[in-house]
Amino acid sequence: GQNIDQPTEMTATEGAIVQINCTYQTSGFNGLFWYQQHAGEAPTFLSYNVLDGLEEKGRFSSFLSRSKGYSYLLLKELQMKDSASYLCAVMGDSWGKFQFGAGTQVVVTP
């Protein structure tokens, strides 16, 4: 079967770093995506990994290890506006068929 796991909630202080892990078991692999979703809003794309390694985009970085079925999203210099749900999504062997994890609610405290 297909499974994507990520922690339910994480809390961190403004200015700190938080790492959100995602493990997956899917039929085939055509990329892993991270999205941010604020309450009541649509998800917005953050990053994409298809090859092993680290992708850096400003304060956000994402890492992928295909052999381990593992990814993480690193949020640096946390700001209050980073409080949101972070969704890990994998495209398996069917093009266009994204499977989303349940999301990790990140709470940033002053």
Partner 1 sequence: DTEVTQTPKHLVMGMTNKKSLKCEQHMGHRAMYWYKQKAKKPPELMFVYSYEKLSINESVPSRFSPECPNSSLLNLHLHALQPEDSALYLCASSLGPAGVGGELFFGEGSRLTVL
Q: What are the residues binding partner 1 (CB under 8 A)?
A: 30-31, 33, 35, 41-45, 48, 87, 89, 91, 94-103
Cβ proximity to partner 1: between 31 and 76 the closer is 31
Contacts of 14 (CB under 8 A, 6+ apart): 78, 79, 80, 108, 109, 110
CB of 47 to partner 1, least distance (A): 9
- 32-37 and 44-49 beta bridge pairing: antiparallel
CB of 15 to partner 1, least distance (A): 27
